[in-house]
Every structure is written in C-alpha cells, then in structure tokens.
Amino acid sequence: EIVLTQSPATLSLSPGERATLSCRASQSVSRQLAWYQQKPGQAPRLLIYDASSRATGIPARFSGSGSGTDFTLTISSLEPEDFAAYYCQQRSIWPITFGLGTRLEIK
Amino acid sequence: EVQLVESGGGLVQPGGSLRLSCAASGFTFTSHWMGWARQAPGKGLQWVANINQDGSDKNYVDSVKGRFTVSRDNARNSVDLQMNSLRAEDTAVYYCARSTYYAGTGTYYSVYWGQGTLVTVSS
C-alpha cells in the first residue's frame, strides 16, 4: 500500500498569506495524485487532479506541482474560505490512499 | 445537476450487518465507476471499495475484504454497500462518490460526492 505523508499537520496563517502544503509518497505515483479540500460537515471537494490540473470551477490561486514522490499544493493568497482541511490522494495503485491531511487554520 | 444521496446508516451492534445505498441522478449512471469512501470521526479519509460500470470489476481495501460487498443496480441508478461482521473500527461517515475519467494520465478521480451517512458500531 502506498503511504502518503502530508506536512505540516497544521498550518497557521493569515488571510492574504501564501500557503504551501506538502505530500510525499512512499513510492512513485507518477502524476496520479489529487488534492481535496474538506470543510467541517461537508464532503471532500476536488481541487487538483493529475498533480497540477485545476478541477472545474477552482480558483486560480490554487496550484499543484510535483511528480513521482513529492508533491505540493500552493494557495497563493489565502481567502477566508480557504481555511479548511486538505488531503492528497493517490490513484496510481490500488488501494487508493489518502494522506492524513493538513489543517489550515487562521492565525 | 449531479446528485448522490446516501441512505441506510445507523447504529448497529458489533458483528451486525447494515446495507448502505446511494441513489444517483443527473448523469448517465452506466458510464461511470462508482465508489465508497469513509471517514472515522475526527479522522482522515479512507477509500473502501470501487465498482466498474457493469459491476464486473470490484475492488476492496484489505480491512473490509470478505466482510463488505459493493454492488450496483443500473436499472435503478443505485450503488449499494453491504456491510457484514461490523466492528467498532468501521464506525465512520460513509460517502458515495462518482469517478470521472481524465485523459491526461488516464486516471479516474472523484469530483462528485454525496453528503455521507453515519454508521456507528457500538454495543
């Protein structure tokens, strides 16, 4: 099973700041990696697929990069609605796995 | 509008059974893989099972193999998750999700999710 390690576990930032979230895979997943945002009581929302492609309707301030084992989600300038949990997910090899998440909180 | 509505959650004793159902609408159901994911209270996400368009291909995470069965009824646009021999660690919100094929890497990703149904396994 591919293990995804996300860091940091919690990130405290202010609106307007830049957020950089990391996801490292225990073996290569090529570019078959997605990022999801989840707010309390809601289902996950797909932000990024294929490591760097924005899903439909996702604002341009969200960007993804990386391939192989190291991936990054960047939020260029935080809006109040961006404070939430973020999960990476690999779809390269079954079982599909998620990282444990990064909680982005308001400083 | 794509809609996925889960039902069937509730409180069940350890060793008991429960059947979850997901009613799909707003898209051509027979064109998509469907899946179930879960999230234990305060924890992260875990993908549980997948089923292909005609139900001939199914995948399960190891922790539920032999206990859970995923099925679909293409006439009713629904996908079910039969859960047997339930354990306390199966307590979670269960989400139904639709997979969409992306040609870039030839990979399926889940854009559409239901709102989830809570399963609590406790005596």
Selection from B101, B119, B121, B103 nearest residue B111 by Cα = B101
Per-residue pLDDT of chain A (107 residues; tens, 9 = 90+): 999 999 999 999 999 999 999 999 999 999 999 999 999 999 999 999 999 999 999 999 999 999 999 999 999 999 999 999 999 999 999 999 999 999 999 99
Query: What pLDDT does residue B111 have?
Result: 92
- Return the SS3 of A69: coil
Chain B from 34 to 53: CB within 8 A of any A CB = 35, 44-47, 50
Of B44, B50, B109, the CB nearest to A34: B109
Chain A from 34 to 73: CB within 8 A of any B CB = 34, 36, 38, 42-44, 46, 49-50, 53, 55-56
List pLDDT tens digits, range B26-70.
999 999 999 999 999 999 999 999 999 999 999 999 999 999 999
Q: How many CB atoms are closer than 10 A to CB B99?
A: 21
Q: Is A97 on the interface with B (CB under 8 A)?
A: yes
Residue B106 has pLDDT above 90, yes or no: no
Q: How far apart are CA B109 and CA B75, in angstroms?
A: 24
Residue located via tokens 């079982």: A95
Sign of CA dihedral B2, B113, A98, B17: negative
Of A30, A43, A98, the CB nearest to B114: A43
Q: Give the angle subtended at the CA of A2 by the CAs of B92 and B4, to the nearest 5°.
A: 40
Q: B19-53 as b/e, with b when 16 or more CB fall inside 10 Å?
A: ebbbbbeebebeebbbbbbbbeeeebbbbbbbbeb
